[in-house]
Structure 1
Amino acid sequence: MTNGYGKKPEFDFEKINFDLIKKYIIPIAIILGIIIIGYSSIFTVKANQEATILRFGKYMETVGPGLQFKLPFGIDKVYAGEVKRIYNEEFGYRTLRSGRESVIDSDFRGAKEVSLMLTGDRNCAEVNWVVRYKIKNLKDFLFNVRNVKATIRDVSEAVMRKIVGDRSIDEVLTIGRRDIEEVAEGEIEDILDLYGCGIAVQVVNLKGVDPPGPVKDAFDAVNKAVQLREQIINEAEGKKNKIIPFAMGKKEQVISEAEGYKIKRINEATGDTKAFLAVWGEYEKAKDVTRRRLYLETMARVIPKCEEIFIIDKDQKGILPILNLGGSKVTK
């Protein structure tokens, strides 16, 4: 069969087997269409993610981890975000390599413009810090603010400059660092919530606070002196806490011993008094007998302790009795 130009037609519809098409081709096409639609309709959200679904550019919903469904052919668009990840924004430095031995760089271009601040007592300090945050509302994070990262940096720098400007250089360098971190964390969170950024500030850490280079050595010397003073005070307090309890214990011991000695002496004096009064009573009853008894009792205690005993006859007529005081033998 030829056409009017003497050529065979490109398709010979008379030879097409429509029964074969109905039986095999159409079902296969339907199955392929279903597969394509299913593949473009199913998506997976990872365990640490959430995903927002937009339909023709309008927000529909936020879905969690797992197998999820959307309309195919670009009707629905999906935007995922890691809501369990901790994000870091570093100021005045940047981490080149993290790990057990982190490597940081604080001399890159623009670092000093961020870190150099004026304190409340008109001194300068180089403040390096990091803001750690998480996504708490993926919809707000994606659609409320055009550039969330830049907003976080601008707000954090403004808040930190205000806080440092309200404090003295000593507070910034030493005793006020924890207070600065807490105040900055709260104020940054409040402002970002006001902007609807959809993030939650986890913590603000001051990584390094130093005086400017030209005066750093002088500040270090002052800090060493302060630390030495604190060390000496702590050592003195330790000695005081050690010596005072010992002295108090010794005092109590001496007082206790004195009280015991007092009671002992009182008891002894009381006993001696009672004994004397008893003897006095007997003496009053028979003075001669009592006097002789006391004399004999005293001699009984004294004579055994004597090495030599001299007995002088009271009837001797000599004016001065001769005593053998030298210990030589006396001849009679």
Structure 2
Amino acid sequence: MTTGGHTLVVRLDSAGDVLLAGPAIRAAAAASARTALLCGPRGEAAARLLPGLDDILVYDAPWVGFDAPPARRADTDALLDALAARRFDRALILASYHQSPLPAALLLKMAGVPWIAADSEHYPGSLLDLRHHRAPHRHEAAAALDLAEAAGLRLPPGDSGALRVTCPAAAPHLTGPGPYLVVHPGAAVPARAWSAPRAARAVAALAAAGHRVVVTGGPAERDLTAAVAGRHALDLGGRTTLPELAAVIAAARTLITGNTGPAHLAAAVATPLVCLFAPVVPAHRWAPYRVPHVLLGHQDAPCAGTRARTCPVPGHPCLDSVTDAELLTAVDTLLTRTPGPGPDQEVTV
């Protein structure tokens, strides 16, 4: 495959998935005259933070997401027209290990994209020009970059391949002066976060240990963040755009959150984090990428590998049984850690 020309990268999932596609997007941009991303509506705000993109197209795919829209001929025709008008030379379709890239590949072929690459365990017929097989147990960000490299698209010299976003502006008007920790209690998948009462007890324990705590969340999480912050923390629930959230996390000493988009946002701004990682999906694929972090959560819990959205075990023991002492030890370990030669290791506590 020749480089140059116009490259399309496809990542149709959530904001966190789009952030994990960042290194592959930068590899595409380094080898292309123009680079575009086709993403879903939940990933658009994250896409606008990524370096290397000249264009962003948004499509709510009927085969992606928990509340996928119905398949409509008008929506498909509009997407095909938009793709055809841009005359792409090649495309990379990035999808999670359990997803098929073939619905997207079919639409791209119908739009006239002449060369398409994707990881696929299913027979692609004529839909893929490069059918790549991802390495076993590969992290999602690394697997995406592997595909780009297999297509002849490589990161430029000096690019380490870590996650990255355009430098967010400082947000002292939101957080006030002085050092702080961030607790982000929500997640699109409830099984991947603490229950609200458990998160509230954690915030109280952090405050009692002398930490100033800022609680963040989206517009739909105002009741959650108010309950979690209580009288112990500053509540920023519903008060930040995604760029402002990036700025708040970038200035934090540490982030405490579940396996959700802000964990990957922290990695992109190089903020160490304590990640409450429910084993419903494997940590080797979705843990914070190339940033100092501590994983808390019982990885051998009965919910392991189920991809459950709501915890199937009464009491949510994989995360809610994590103690305040374990949390405080993890935070102290990250705050006192001497930086090593590389940012990609998990910190042991």
User: TM-score, normalised to structure 1's length?
Assistant: 0.21
Who wins on radius of gyration, i.e. which is larger? 1
User: TM-score, normalised to structure 2's length?
Assistant: 0.21
Q: Which has the higher strand share?
A: 1
Q: Which has the higher helix share?
A: 1
